[in-house]
Structure 1
């Protein structure tokens, strides 16, 4: 007789990581993420290194972060406290539990205007803090990553930036810190008098042990500290033992544990709160740009400039300028640069404009005998544009645009005494030449503090190349020490330079650093392997000898990336500009969610992990990856990153490429919205003959069912189809222009043709009034936009190919193609040469222009009537921002006398199909509510609201009481009436 096993089924025992994840989820008020996508997203920072974390915790409160660390302590796992993740020395990636403070712990706890102090949480971004402070108060140090770096990260790195010339490092501006040790001691630390020290010792316990031990370590090594710590303002390497020594004053306040912990890179404590000193920046400025024959000559002039008390004193070399000129960025600033091969940028700042002028003249007079070419600029906008050359140096130098060679950090942060800076550089440049690195190496930095930043064309993809990298780093370190410098002057040691600290400090002081680590973190669980007991500088490399990524065939051609999708994805260097919270366009979904994997950087990292192909990668299923799909789902394909990202990551294109492959061979798995809105041009042609019926249905009770069937959010109203279509109206009316300025082909995009033909008709009237004859295509054509954005690239290529063929005769005759819908115009100028490379696409890209640009360039003496004194508010379409900007349109309006404001509002949030799709409504509305919609609601009734994108107008129409108009309609508003206009204005 058979027996029946009634015992409960055996279950697989949970792993240690699963137990940890469950404990964190049960006890921590926050987001606990051990999924493959999150681990991949946080595996790298902005350095050469990569380590996949155990998991990620995003605490909602400071106390939740404290609890997360308690759980990690109980499970004996390492912890990395992380800010903006822009570190260049590898200190922000580790095989640990990453605590990311930057999403929720971003509060200003208090501000004391009189004392000029504030208390903040560690996740607040520097620009956000400074924007929120009252009056003219700011936090002084300002790294180039100020839009994205967090105060916690700045404290971890002891950040500086250009303004440290005046305000000092972060350590010089931190008053107190609330910190947490791995073993659970939570305390406020700062300057400690002898009386306070005695009180701490009397209380006993762990705090007393730490203070007593640190004081003893510092006292035992005081002579070595005095001998071997470089006496320069930018000594950032190692731990700040000098801040643990008793002070010379009566109360002995030299022991300052807050200052001592700044720059410890999450290896000693977790920072919970910071009390910061604030400053007021003088109002008036002048910028003096000095051109020299070479980098050594510019360095020799530094000590002549310093007595003039510059607010900052920065350097860029010829490679930075050559790269930017080749890429065509900052053209006006480039044209203004004085002659030279190396440049110093000196800002004089004062509250008295007369003193600025006097000090500037004294500076330039003092420098003339040194022979530099000199440019003095007093206009603030021109100064900002010139200084943007310097601020973008890190990202611009990441890849040589002429050769495609990648440049890397590593030896990018040495700081020298200014008196010895030139001699060091002369010898170090010779070292570059010896190793074959000189041609592509970019040199820049904070020369007023002797700090040199570089990016170097190391060859990290081979064993020999990595060996050369190690050798070069070691010899550079020895050279830096020879001239009395610090291995790091701002970016910290991390993994890049931790191994080299003994060359700078000697074994005794390195042992002292290890003693500090053992005292504060005896189990070595705080960001292990960085600064002390470091990993080797040539292990855990992102790109190393074993790097062998997949090289899949792609639909797009990626002409700027060697024709390789992999190479395109490698563009991202993690600088984090996509994590800014206001200004420009990039990245709207990150601004709405605060999620790292919704930033351009996070998505690029996931794609990189997908292609990496190593067995240790969390992303293992290639194009079928659900983690990558989900991260890309909230990408609005706004193309903002194409222009706003300093390395021109084009996530809209990468998303289309991914969707093309992800759903390749399984179209039935696509979201329903890809069929309803991806095929909008075809559906519009079917609906147009029966437009009144379709419109009635879409406004009836049946609309909800149809929306659900089409993957459309029920809260969205479906735009009505217009009657008649634009081209039908045009052919019935006929062309009327004089043609004195020639013929133009007006492109009837799907949105103008079927949904808003009045914009097309108004464009015809404007063009004719300006002296053009208007033509439209004889055939029914489409640019393929909706198929591109939904990743249906085979269909897009066929549709676009037919259009290129049909337009070839007009293009060949030199006829401009005028686009009204910016996203469709961008298909011609940007997507077409990428999807269908060749002469046809290149020709149509060159021929395509916008209405405003055509009028500005080909009819500069024509001005639309009736706009004098009219206030105009403009929502610039993201694709136009990315592929050409709105400058010409603004010029046309101002020439007509209008008062124009182009909103710095980012993406409207609708973004074609995105805002209509189920699951996107909240993010879509949040994007619009950030700036655009409140500004539209608050505008005067007489202010014209201009939005050339159909999506932008729809978002405004559906979420405000106002209506958005196309530029063409505003320009036509003062023209005589046209009896052939069947649609209301």
Structure 2
């Protein structure tokens, strides 16, 4: 759709040239950031150049749109959303222009991610000082706009303190640059300095009272450091197009002292005394944070390495994390031990190993997402998010804040930059009713009054945004707020940039994302959603927008890592589903926009583990597909791939048919026809079908005599992949179990975990298949201790984790309890058998390259396999990028082959090819291990090499001693 305005063909041509996105899918993805607010934008611009931004501003002027700049969208204050044009610089406008190690500066475009800059500076022994917990995805432009700080601010200051020069584009398309001498536009320069000089006494009295006072504009910087006055302006005066920032030397060595205190108030009271030279962080958190972390999936033992924590739980109620630096490791450690002795502590630990330090820091850095779910499972929200007081006032302020929360019957878990008096807290606001919203607004006003009484600031680093701008009247005099307005008008006389923020502010309850209107479409879900009170809406609202899914590290959101498109992030999809439920911009579950956004979700489940609040987009997608196609004809690929287990089982029942079908699928011309008819991608080969089904092989298998006298019996789950498509892992499993003296039972009835039906949203069928399978298994497991061993990781996770969320059947729960991954079961047995001399390991020089199945990485336990390989003397390296790119049925569906290939090319394909070349050169063996059938298929189709299940390798090298 072209945007035409009163015959403005020039504006229309600019639209085409800049690639302005006006589709509802994209607009819905940008309706919120990490805040509680919602605004539906008119269009999104992802500029590649300065001229694109200039064209975007011209279009906005022609359409009378307000303009909002956006980086990573990780703001919790609602200052990266708006109803007009969103200019997102994170995707393309993100070059590091220059690193100057001599002058210790970096010149960058605004979309450069903080970690990207830090990595570029690291070879020179430098870093960018500000490092908020979102450093893996927040952009430098956004950090400067909000005056972000981070954990190292006690040593390196705020974004303002590190800003040397900033170029912004004004509404008329002009660029102006502000540095430490002033603005290169003489009129703006004169107006800025006159404002500061004429009101010097007022500015001195109300601004710059302590480092974390970032609410309002930094007018106190104008006369000495003019560029710093632009920091914290929250996009209200122009669009940042270029930045020069200071770099600081990295400490050569670091250590970490973690101090435990009886209460969080004790930790807060101690923090100011730890501001010693060489102490780079003084981060604090409350004891409830640990309970919230442990309530997450698979985190029951989290924080056990914290001081003040033992097998009975946490004795401590608060902690401080103090990182120290030095020229030598001894110097850093000595300072860390000195820190421990400054104040009385309940307990303390000092570590210098990088792995140990990362493990401890992970607890603190995950806090922003963790505390959105309270230990009792209740929701908690930002808004009174980052208030700050002079550090010496922090303990008293925290006590009063707790009292205020108690008065309103709210819960919250504090954490933050205690050494600088800055507190982050998510609070259990109730947005489900007008009464709850009224209480929220009352609390916000009282909290603003409270922090002002303690000499503090509404915001300590995230900006005021829509969260707190309307409350600046509680902190500043009318004269100062008038001064803020005058400053804004110097740059933006027409008030087009980020209206409603800082000046002429929106009310704090205007446009809430979770207001009662969000429940227009919330049908009874097929999933049970036990952790979300049985509500699809609550499951969607788990996404608070912290943006961990936008990080280039980790396995989460493979499609986003390839495209960089917000629509393809977990957060973007969650925002679209939220709009679907609201029913104002999207047509409920019939929405084609939501279908489009979810199409490139691989259902890898990385988000279920790596997202700080465990947003499970795979389950949300399956639920959506169920409602979207209910009583409608589905895409043919859903039938072909969904019913694949049943189809293959039937094919093997007809003598010779599996062989004929496999031959047809290997014939290119026939395969293309079959792919086209089946709604599959014609550019990749189809799967292979085994001529011999594992069950048939099992029936003819000669049972060893020890089978009769075996002390242990197991049921081997004949999953559809290893049963029908590639029986070699299952055959190796039987052989290995018999070497271990274990009796094997293989059910002869049709069994399936229902995964292929689940991933295509055919949830009723998935549940029927699952309950049937649980009923069958129950017959084979009359003894309570009989385990069910699963070879395929996706099936293992489905049975152990997902099944009970789909069916309340007690036999399904029993099956979930019985199911064990094959390697998890045999690993200790093999180690004991080798140690006792019952078995031996063949002498072979083997190196292993492992592709961990994404479901196992997310919700399973790959640890036993890695530990076993190490114990057997096999050197292993692991593919770190997560999903292989095939993701079961996803990679075969029409239109997905190209991205599937791109995902494989990230690391998997090059590493496999390099491993083979290296093995040939060094005359060693390389075992490419991929326990997932789809992973093995992806490796073979992408590299021509055959990957094997780990059980095949184990069976090949584990031999009887005699």
TM-score by length of 2: 0.94
**Against the structure 1 CA distance between its residues 308 and 822, is the aligned structure 2 distance closer, same or farther, given a 3 Å change threshold?**
same
1:712 corresponds to 2:695:
no
CA shift for structure 1 position 807 = 0.5
Distance 2:82 2:368 in 1: 23
Distance 2:9 2:950 in 1: 54
Distance 2:518 2:536 in 1: 16
Cα deviations by residue, 1:403-444 (Å, 9 ceiling, x for unpaired)? x3211111121111111112222222222222222xx21111
Select which of 909, 923, 926 maps to 2:902.
926
Distance 1:682 1:21 in 2: 57
Select which of 630, 633, 637 maps to 2:599.
633
CA shift for structure 1 position 42 = 0.9
Partner of 1:973: 956
Confirm or deny: 8 A CA contact 1:875 1:905 kept in the other structure: no
Distance 1:233 1:20 in 2: 48
1:300 corresponds to 2:269:
yes
Select which of 106, 109, 129 maps to 2:97.
109
CA shift for structure 1 position 98 = 0.7
Distance 1:377 1:45 in 2: 36
CA shift for structure 1 position 962 = 2.5
Confirm or deny: 8 A CA contact 2:68 2:87 kept in the other structure: yes
Partner of 2:24: 36
Distance 2:632 2:903 in 1: 32
**Against the structure 1 CA distance between its residues 811 and 879, is the aligned structure 2 distance closer, same or farther, given a 3 Å change threshold?**
farther
Confirm or deny: 8 A CA contact 2:11 2:58 kept in the other structure: no
Distance 1:26 1:705 in 2: 43
Confirm or deny: 8 A CA contact 1:308 1:359 kept in the other structure: no
CA shift for structure 1 position 40 = 1.4
**Against the structure 1 CA distance between its residues 796 and 306, is the aligned structure 2 distance closer, same or farther, given a 3 Å change threshold?**
same
Select which of 515, 525, 536 maps to 1:544.
515
1:764 corresponds to 2:731:
no
Select which of 442, 445, 451 maps to 2:413.
442
1:679 corresponds to 2:655:
no
Distance 2:146 2:130 in 1: 12
1:360 corresponds to 2:336:
yes
Distance 2:510 2:447 in 1: 19
**Against the structure 1 CA distance between its residues 417 and 822, is the aligned structure 2 distance closer, same or farther, given a 3 Å change threshold?**
same
Distance 2:605 2:318 in 1: 34
1:62 corresponds to 2:30:
no
Confirm or deny: 8 A CA contact 1:28 1:64 kept in the other structure: no
Partner of 2:627: 661
Question: Mean Cα displacement is larger for which, 183-192 or 852-861?
Answer: 852-861
CA shift for structure 1 position 191 = 1.0
1:565 corresponds to 2:565:
no
Partner of 1:839: 810
CA shift for structure 1 position 750 = 1.2
1:421 corresponds to 2:421:
no
Partner of 2:82: 94
Question: Mean Cα displacement is larger for which, 160-169 or 690-699?
Answer: 690-699
CA shift for structure 1 position 280 = 3.0
**Against the structure 1 CA distance between its residues 243 and 754, is the aligned structure 2 distance closer, same or farther, given a 3 Å change threshold?**
same
* Other structure's SS at 2:20 match: strand
Select which of 128, 140, 154 maps to 2:129.
140
Confirm or deny: 8 A CA contact 1:592 1:927 kept in the other structure: yes
1:960 corresponds to 2:943:
yes
* Other structure's SS at 2:228 match: helix
CA shift for structure 1 position 731 = 1.8
Select which of 509, 522, 527 maps to 2:498.
527
Partner of 1:458: 429
**Against the structure 1 CA distance between its residues 726 and 545, is the aligned structure 2 distance closer, same or farther, given a 3 Å change threshold?**
closer
CA shift for structure 1 position 805 = 0.5
CA shift for structure 1 position 812 = 4.4
Question: Mean Cα displacement is larger for which, 410-419 or 357-366?
Answer: 357-366
Select which of 293, 300, 313 maps to 2:282.
313
Select which of 212, 217, 225 maps to 2:190.
212
Matches within 5 A, 1:819-830: 819-830=790-801
Partner of 1:871: 847
Partner of 2:327: 351
Distance 2:518 2:725 in 1: 50
Cα deviations by residue, 1:765-785 (Å, 9 ceiling, x for unpaired)? 222223322211121222221
Distance 1:274 1:14 in 2: 33
**Against the structure 1 CA distance between its residues 22 and 784, is the aligned structure 2 distance closer, same or farther, given a 3 Å change threshold?**
farther
**Against the structure 1 CA distance between its residues 920 and 355, is the aligned structure 2 distance closer, same or farther, given a 3 Å change threshold?**
same
Distance 2:473 2:403 in 1: 24
Matches within 5 A, 1:264-413: 264-307=233-276, 309-327=278-296, 328-329=298-299, 331=301, 333-338=303-308, 339-367=315-343, 370-402=344-376, 404-413=377-386
Select which of 552, 568, 576 maps to 1:581.
552
Cα deviations by residue, 1:867-900 (Å, 9 ceiling, x for unpaired)? 7763211111001011123111111111111112
Partner of 2:922: none
* Other structure's SS at 2:886 match: coil
* Other structure's SS at 1:935 match: helix
Confirm or deny: 8 A CA contact 1:287 1:383 kept in the other structure: yes
Confirm or deny: 8 A CA contact 2:286 2:415 kept in the other structure: yes
Select which of 57, 60, 63 maps to 1:75.
63
Confirm or deny: 8 A CA contact 1:105 1:121 kept in the other structure: yes
TM-score by length of 1: 0.92
Partner of 1:691: 658
CA shift for structure 1 position 313 = 0.7
1:553 corresponds to 2:524:
yes
**Against the structure 1 CA distance between its residues 516 and 901, is the aligned structure 2 distance closer, same or farther, given a 3 Å change threshold?**
same
* Other structure's SS at 1:606 match: helix
Partner of 2:767: 797
Confirm or deny: 8 A CA contact 1:77 1:525 kept in the other structure: yes
CA shift for structure 1 position 25 = 5.8
**Against the structure 1 CA distance between its residues 868 and 114, is the aligned structure 2 distance closer, same or farther, given a 3 Å change threshold?**
farther
CA shift for structure 1 position 31 = 2.8
Distance 1:964 1:38 in 2: 39
Distance 1:959 1:67 in 2: 42
Partner of 2:820: 849
**Against the structure 1 CA distance between its residues 25 and 783, is the aligned structure 2 distance closer, same or farther, given a 3 Å change threshold?**
farther
Partner of 2:484: 513
Distance 2:334 2:305 in 1: 27
* Other structure's SS at 2:260 match: strand
Distance 1:809 1:857 in 2: 28
CA shift for structure 1 position 465 = 2.2
* Other structure's SS at 2:456 match: coil
Select which of 690, 693, 718 maps to 1:725.
693
CA shift for structure 1 position 360 = 2.0
Distance 2:197 2:794 in 1: 66
Q: Which runs of 5+ in 2 are unaligned?
A: 309-314, 835-839, 920-924
Partner of 1:249: none
Partner of 2:612: 646
Distance 2:214 2:363 in 1: 25
1:750 corresponds to 2:725:
no
Question: Mean Cα displacement is larger for which, 405-414 or 67-76?
Answer: 67-76
CA shift for structure 1 position 168 = 1.2
Distance 2:866 2:327 in 1: 34
What value does the CA root-mean-square deviation take over the aligned residues? 2.1
Distance 1:453 1:429 in 2: 13
Distance 1:975 1:481 in 2: 70
CA shift for structure 1 position 645 = 0.9
Select which of 573, 576, 579 maps to 1:606.
576
Confirm or deny: 8 A CA contact 1:868 1:898 kept in the other structure: no
Q: Which runs of 5+ in 1 are unaligned?
A: 1-12, 201-206, 246-253, 978-985
Distance 1:30 1:801 in 2: 53
Confirm or deny: 8 A CA contact 1:24 1:32 kept in the other structure: no
Confirm or deny: 8 A CA contact 2:519 2:537 kept in the other structure: no
Distance 1:129 1:625 in 2: 39
Query: How many residue pairs align between the two structures?
Result: 933
